[in-house]
Chains A and B, each alone.
Chain A
Amino acid sequence: AQKITQTQPGMFVQEKEAVTLDCTYDTSDPSYGLFWYKQPSSGEMIFLIYQGSYDQQNATEGRYSLNFQKARKSANLVISASQLGDSAMYFCAMREGGDDKLIFGTGTRLQVFP
């Protein structure tokens, strides 16, 4: 079974609008961390935001926020006020409490148009 599922291969959003990128996860470990990374066309992997399973509040980092719904096992990334530079691949990832490695989803390609 997939540990991390990103069901949207591609998304389009108009500049200045908000967009939500979906991520669901599967774990039986009560302790885990969820991560989002951005990969622009240049290829580097850029860390965006982190949510711990015990965090009481949704994580936010500037225009990025994480809509964490623990019961539904979802950790959607919300990008507010989209910019053309937000066009990239976005990856959701999880680390389970007893493990060291990050498992990545298949990614969502976001395209922001003027």
Chain B
Amino acid sequence: DAGVIQSPRHEVTEMGQEVTLRCKPISGHDYLFWYRQTMMRGLELLIYFNNNVPIDDSGMPEDRFSAKMPNASFSTLKIQPSEPRDSAVYFCATVGAGTGELFFGEGSRLTVL
């Protein structure tokens, strides 16, 4: 079974540009999480979905960030307009059965110049 798939793996863009990060979760996993990892702030939860419905977006830093999950097999995290302080690794993760551990994608490393 394929794991969580994220794209792009790396993105370099200029300040002010729109950035869209994509995630394909593991089939059958009902929860999808978006985390951001930076040296200064560690791993922060941005938003999570249950059955495609956003449950908690209190971690989304500001209105420039938005996330959608139009169906069970796809989610996007969009930043518009991007700023240098958005540079980070963005992880998508889904919850497995049993102990409820998170299965992470490989992350999308974003650099905003």
Contacts and interface: CB of A to CB of B under 8 A. Distances in A.
Interface of A: 33, 35, 43-45, 47, 50, 52, 91, 95, 100-107
A35 B106 CA distance: 19
Interface stretch (B11-19, B65-73, B77-85, B95-103): B95-103
Interface residues of B, number: 22
14 contacts: A33-B99, A43-B106, A43-B107, A43-B109, A44-B106, A44-B107, A45-B91, A45-B102, A47-B101, A100-B55, A102-B33, A102-B102, A104-B42, A106-B42
Contacts of A35: 99, 101-102
A43 B43 CA distance: 12
Nearest to A48: B101
Contacts of B33: 101-102
B102 A100 contact: no
A44 B107 CA distance: 7
B16 to A, nearest CB: 27
Interface in B42-96: 42-43, 45, 48, 50, 55-56, 89, 91, 93, 95
Given A45-B91, A45-B104, A52 B99 contact: yes
Contacts of A47: 101-103
